[in-house]
Amino acid sequence: MSCGPVSPILSPAKPIPGGPSVDPLHGSFRSSIHRERAADASQRARELLTDEVLGRLLSTPRPPTTQVPRAREVFVNRNLRMDHVELIGFDMDYTLAIYHMRRLEQLSFDMTIAKLISEYHYPPFVGGLIYDHHFVMRGLAVDRVNGNVLKMDRFGHVGRAYHGLRPLKREAWKELYRNKRVRLRNPQFAWNDTLFALPETCLFSGIIELMESMGHTVNYGKLYDDIREAIDTVHRDNSLKREIRKDLARYVFLDPELGPALHKLRSGGKRLFLLTNSAWDYTNAVMRYLLDGQLPEYPSWRNYFDFTVTAAGKPAFFTESRPFLELDSTTEEGKVVGEAKSLERGTVYSGGNLAQFEEMTGYRGEHILYVGDHIYGDILKSKKSSLWRTCMVVQEIEDEITYTDQRRTDIDTLSEVELTRARLDDEVNHRKTVLNSLERRLERGELPEAERLEAEELRKKTKAELEKLRKSLKATNGIADTLEQDVEEGFNPYWGLLFKEGNENSRFGYQVEQYACLYTSRVSNFLHHSPMQYYRSPRDLMAHEQAGALSSKMSPLGSEGPPKGSDQ
pLDDT per position as a tens digit, 414-431 = 999 999 999 999 999 999
pLDDT per position as a tens digit, 427-463 = 999 999 999 998 888 888 787 888 888 888 998 999 9
- What average pLDDT does this structure show over 328-353? 93
Cβ pair 224, 190 in contact under 8 A: yes
The percentage of the chain sitting over the pLDDT mark of 90, rounded to a whole number, equals: 66
Same domain, residue pair 159 and 230:
yes
Query: What is the domain-level CATH number for residue 360?
Result: 3.40.50.1000
Q: Of the candidates 348, 376, 394, which is a domain's last residue?
A: 394
Same domain, residue pair 407 and 378:
no
pLDDT per position as a tens digit, 543-554 = 888 888 887 777
What pLDDT score was predicted for residue 563? Answer: 53
Q: 65-73: list long-range contacts, CB under 8 Å, 24+ apart.
A: 66/528, 68/525, 68/528, 70/401, 70/405, 71/397, 71/398, 71/401, 71/402, 71/405, 71/521, 72/398, 72/520, 72/521, 72/522, 72/525, 72/528, 73/520, 73/525
Residue 113 falls inside a structural domain: yes
Same domain, residue pair 312 and 353:
yes
Closest of 123, 158, 155 to residue 140, by C-alpha: 158
Q: Show the domain range for 497.
A: 397-520
What pLDDT score was predicted for residue 306? Answer: 97
Closest of 150, 200, 190 to residue 376, by C-alpha: 190
Same domain, residue pair 440 and 507:
yes
pLDDT at position 167 over 90: yes
pLDDT per position as a tens digit, 83-138 = 999 999 999 999 999 999 999 999 999 999 999 999 999 999 999 999 999 999 99
pLDDT per position as a tens digit, 62-80 = 776 667 889 999 999 999 9
- What average pLDDT does this structure show over 140-160? 93
Same domain, residue pair 374 and 497:
no
Instruction: Specify the amino acid at residue 295.
Output: L
Residue 552 falls inside a structural domain: no
Same domain, residue pair 315 and 346:
yes
pLDDT at position 52 over 80: yes
Residue 272 falls inside a structural domain: yes
pLDDT greater at residue 107 or residue 54: 107
Same domain, residue pair 302 and 278:
yes
Same domain, residue pair 361 and 408:
no
Tally of CB atoms within 10 A around 13? 5
pLDDT band for position 253 (cuts 50, 70, 90): very high
What pLDDT score was predicted for residue 568? Answer: 42
Residue 215 falls inside a structural domain: yes
pLDDT at position 21 over 70: no
pLDDT at position 405 over 80: yes
- pTM to 2 decimal places: 0.86
Same domain, residue pair 182 and 84:
no
The percentage of the chain sitting over the pLDDT mark of 70, rounded to a whole number, equals: 91
What pLDDT score was predicted for residue 57? Answer: 82
What pLDDT score was predicted for residue 332? Answer: 86
Q: Of the candidates 347, 370, 394, which is a domain's last residue?
A: 394
pLDDT per position as a tens digit, 500-521 = 998 899 999 998 998 899 999 9
Cβ pair 539, 518 in contact under 8 A: no
Same domain, residue pair 222 and 284:
no
Residue 494 falls inside a structural domain: yes
> How many domains would you assign to the chain?
3
Q: Of the candidates 217, 248, 279, which is a domain's last residue?
A: 248
Residue 16 falls inside a structural domain: no
Mean per-residue pLDDT over the chain, rounded: 89
Same domain, residue pair 206 and 336:
no
Same domain, residue pair 259 and 370:
yes
Residue 536 falls inside a structural domain: no
- What average pLDDT does this structure show over 380-385? 69
What pLDDT score was predicted for residue 29? Answer: 60
Residue 331 falls inside a structural domain: yes
